[in-house]
Each structure stands twice: as C-alpha cells, then as structure tokens.
Amino acid sequence: MRMERLRNGIAWLMIICGIEAAAAAVFTVGDTSGWSIGSDYSTWASDKTFSVGDTLVFTYPSGHTVDEVSASDYKTCTVGNAIASDSSGSTSVSLKTAGPHYYICGVPGHCGGGMKLSITVSAAAAAGGGGVAPGNTTVSTAPPAAVTALPPPASIAVPAGGGFTDPYASSARLSPAAAAVLAFYGLAIFMWFV
C-alpha cells in the first residue's frame, strides 16, 4: 500500500512537471538593461533557446522603436522597411514561426549603436503558450512581396493602456525540453532505487 501511494505521488509530480515544461518562456530582452544603445544583444541571446510560443519583451524609453526587419535590413541597419514596428516603450513579441527573426531600433543610428537582435526560433517542443496577453492589440503586417524566402513575421503585441508587467518575465527560465528531460531522468533514477 505504501509503495502504491508513493508511485501515485510520483505520477502526480510528473504530471505537474509536464505542465510546467509545456509553458512557454518569456524573455526580457537585455534583462535589466532593456532595449538600449550600447548593449550586446548577440551575447545576451547566445545562451538562450527560443521556441515557437515563447515571448520576447522589449522595454525601452521614448525615442526608440522595435522593428522586425528582413535579414538584409538587419545586416545593413536599414531603417524604414520594417515588417512590423512599435514605439510604445513596452513591446511584446509572440514568436509564432520557427526560423530566424531580426529586430532593430528604427531610429537612424541606433541599430549601428548596438540596438539589433537576431534570434533563431525552433519549433515548439510541446503544445501550449503562444498567446498574447489579455488587453493587448496584435500588430502584424505581411512581408514585402519581393521577400518570399522569409517565414511569416512574428506579431508584435502593443499593450493597451500602458506598460506590460509580467511576473514571469525572466530570461533565466529552464527551457521546456530541458525541464522534461530532467524530470524524466529524475524519475528514472528514483524508480531504480525503489
């Protein structure tokens, strides 16, 4: 009887871990520095895994924008051809498609000053997430007709009525795939000794 209760408890623990693993991650771009000139966003993104359903949160003062751009506009810091743009000071981007995504500040000179981010989004490991926070308006435009090789753009959500505050906004969360693997191996090791 005791062994059966223990196994039932472990089963519930695995279900709870699985639910957490399926949750999408929220990444605050630049962490505490936010979206600003002089930051190194390549280094910031280098140790992170982005998946479909995750959200990028850009926080910045007035005088900046978040523009999703093509690969060529990203490389040359060309402004004025944004796929989608926002200047609200708090921009949430829901990553809806796998592949490369490029973001720059659309103010002339700011991209050259470091306000550019390139990420590669992988397909979602588990179902879940991907929604826009309640009260937000989704802004999305189709890419130019000449750019047919790029995936459809991620949508940029503009918070209604002010700033976006998410208690889970942390770039230090464990990826869903890593959480699932750790939970599986933890259970396997535990069951080995039971």
pLDDT along the chain (194 residues), means of 10: 59 53 83 94 96 96 96 96 95 96 97 97 63 36 41 55 46 58 66 63
Distance CA(188)–CA(121), nearest Å, equals: 30
Amino acid occupying residue 142: A
Q: Supply the CATH classification number for the domain 26-172.
A: 2.60.40.420
CA distances in angstroms from 102 to 34, 38, 75, 122, 183, listed in the order given: 17, 18, 9, 14, 33
Could you tell me the pTM of the whole model?
0.57
pLDDT in the model for residue 15: 58
pLDDT in the model for residue 182: 63
Distance CA(18)–CA(101), nearest Å, equals: 28
Q: Angle, nearest 10°, between helix axes 176-193 and 2-22? A: 170
pLDDT in the model for residue 9: 56
